[in-house]
Amino acid sequence: MSLPTPAEERGYRVAIDTGGTFTDIAVNRPDGSVFVWKVPSTPHAPDEAVIAGLTEALSEVAGQPGEVTRFVQGTTVATNTVITGTGARVGLVTTDGFRDLLAIGYQTRPSLYDQTARRPRPLAPAELTWEVRERLAADGSELAPVDRRHLDELIARIRAAEPDVVVVSLLNAYANPAHEDQVVEALREAEAVPSVFAATSITPEMREYERTSTAVLNGYVQPKIAGYVDRLDKQLSQVGVPARLWVMQSNGGLLGSRVAQEQSVRTVLSGLAGGVVGAARWARQLELPSVVSFDIGGTSTDIALIRDGVPDEMTAGEIEGYPLRMPMVDVHTIGAGGGSIAWRDSGDGLRVGPHSAGARPGPVCYGHGGTDITVTDAHALLGRLGDSLLDGRLPLDVATARRRLADFARDVGLGDTETAAGVLRVINATMGRGIRKVSVERGVDLRQCTLMAFGGAGPLHAAELIRELGMRAAVVPPHPGIASAVGMLDTPVRHDFALNVSATTASAMPSVSEALDTLAAQAQDFLAEDEGVSATDAVFERAVDAHYLGQSYELRTAWTDDFAVLRRTFDTIHEERYGFCDADAALEIVTARVTVTAGWQEQRVEPKLATGDAPDPVGKRCAYFDGQWHDTPVYRREQLPAQVSLAGPLVLQQLDSTTVVSPGQACWHDEHGFLHIHPEEAR
Domain-embedded: residue 111: yes
Q: Verify that 574 and 626 share a domain, yes or no.
A: no
pLDDT for the residue 600: 62
**Residue bearing the bigger pLDDT, 602 or 657:** 657
pLDDT for the residue 443: 83
Give whichever of 205-214, 348-357, 526-535 has the largest mean pLDDT. 205-214
121 Cβ contact partners less than 8 Å away, ≥ 6 residues apart? none
pLDDT for the residue 659: 96
Whether 544 shows a pLDDT value over 60: the answer reads yes
10 Å CB burial of residue 608 (0-12, 13-18, 19+) is exposed
Mean pLDDT of the chain: 90
Whether 601 shows a pLDDT value over 60: the answer reads no
Q: Verify that 116 and 74 share a domain, yes or no.
A: no
Strand partners, 103: none
Which of 108-122, 175-189, 456-470, 657-671 is least confident? 108-122
> Residue 32 sits in a domain of what CATH number?
3.30.420.40
What is the mean predicted confidence (pLDDT) over 586-609?
79
In one-letter notation, the amino acid at residue 278 is: G
In one-letter notation, the amino acid at residue 645 is: S
Q: Verify that 194 and 103 share a domain, yes or no.
A: yes
Parent domain of 114: 88-224
494 Cβ contact partners less than 8 Å away, ≥ 6 residues apart? 249, 251, 252, 253, 254, 255, 595, 596, 597, 598, 599
Q: Is the peptide bond before 478 cis (omega within 30 degrees of 0)?
A: no
Q: Verify that 161 and 262 share a domain, yes or no.
A: no
* Residue 70 near residue 246, CB atoms below 8 Å: yes
DSSP assignment string, 194-215: SEEEEGGGT---S-HHHHHHHH
Q: What is the pLDDT of residues 357-412, one digit of tens each?
A: 876 788 999 988 889 999 999 999 999 998 988 888 889 999 999 999 999 999 98
SS3 state at 558: strand
Q: Verify that 19 and 128 share a domain, yes or no.
A: no
Q: What is the pLDDT of residues 508-531, one digit of tens each?
A: 999 999 999 999 999 999 988 888
pLDDT for the residue 605: 54
Q: What is the pLDDT of residues 258-281, one digit of tens each?
A: 999 999 999 988 877 888 988 999
Question: Smallest Cα–Cα separation from 620: which of 646, 650, 640, 665?
Answer: 650
Q: Is the peptide bond before 361 cis (omega within 30 degrees of 0)?
A: yes
Whether 4 shows a pLDDT value over 60: the answer reads no
Cα angle vertex 419, ends 20, 408, to 5°?
75
Q: Within a 10 A sphere around the Cβ of 254, how many other Cβ atoms?
A: 29
pLDDT for the residue 604: 55
Domain-embedded: residue 520: yes
* Residue 544 near residue 556, CB atoms below 8 Å: yes
- 180-184's contacts with Cβ under 8 Å and 24+ in sequence apart are 182/146, 183/93, 183/132, 183/134, 183/146, 183/151
SS3 state at 5: coil
* Residue 293 near residue 352, CB atoms below 8 Å: no
Percent above pLDDT 70 for the chain: 97
Q: Verify that 519 and 531 share a domain, yes or no.
A: yes
Question: Smallest Cα–Cα separation from 431: which of 590, 303, 576?
Answer: 303
Domain-embedded: residue 550: yes
| Strand order across the 587-598 sheet | 34-40, 22-28, 12-18, 68-74, 245-248, 254-256, 493-503, 587-598, 539-548, 555-558
* Residue 308 near residue 468, CB atoms below 8 Å: no
- In this prediction, residue 452 has a pLDDT band, given cuts at 50, 70 and 90, of very high
pLDDT for the residue 85: 85
Mark which of 598, 630, 648 sits at the end of a domain: 598
What is the mean predicted confidence (pLDDT) over 581-603?
85
Q: Verify that 202 and 119 share a domain, yes or no.
A: yes
Percent above pLDDT 90 for the chain: 65
Q: Verify that 216 and 117 share a domain, yes or no.
A: yes
Whether 17 shows a pLDDT value over 80: the answer reads yes
Whether 535 shows a pLDDT value over 80: the answer reads no
Whether 682 shows a pLDDT value over 70: the answer reads no
Q: What is the pLDDT of residues 317-347, one digit of tens each?
A: 888 888 998 888 988 888 888 889 999 988 8
Domain-embedded: residue 307: no
Whether 289 shows a pLDDT value over 60: the answer reads yes
What is the mean predicted confidence (pLDDT) over 660-682?
92
Domain-embedded: residue 555: yes
Question: Smallest Cα–Cα separation from 218: which of 320, 125, 324?
Answer: 324
pLDDT for the residue 472: 93
460-to-38, 359, 387, 455, 647 alpha-carbon distances in Å:
18, 19, 16, 10, 16
pLDDT for the residue 6: 44
Q: What is the pLDDT of residues 133-174, one digit of tens each?
A: 999 999 899 999 999 999 999 999 999 999 999 999 999 999
Q: Verify that 70 and 100 share a domain, yes or no.
A: no
Secondary structure (H, E, C), 392-460: HCEECCHHHHHHHHHHHHHHHCCCHHHHHHHHHHHHHHHHHHHHHHHCHHHCCCHHHCEEEEECCCHHH
Q: Verify that 120 and 216 share a domain, yes or no.
A: yes
Domain-embedded: residue 419: no
Whether 2 shows a pLDDT value over 70: the answer reads no
pLDDT for the residue 417: 95
Q: Verify that 95 and 204 share a domain, yes or no.
A: yes
How far is it, in rounded angstroms, from Cα 607 to Cα 33? Answer: 8
At how many degrees (to 10) do helices 416-438 and 398-412 cross? 90
Whether 1 shows a pLDDT value over 50: the answer reads no
Q: Verify that 105 and 168 share a domain, yes or no.
A: yes
Cα angle vertex 352, ends 354, 276, to 5°?
55
Domain-embedded: residue 331: no
What is the mean predicted confidence (pLDDT) over 429-439?
94
Q: Where are the alpha helices (DSSP H) in 255-397?
A: 257-262, 270-286, 375-381
Question: Smallest Cα–Cα separation from 199: which of 172, 159, 230?
Answer: 172
Count of domains for the chain: 4
pLDDT for the residue 506: 94
Longest dimension (CA), the chain: 84
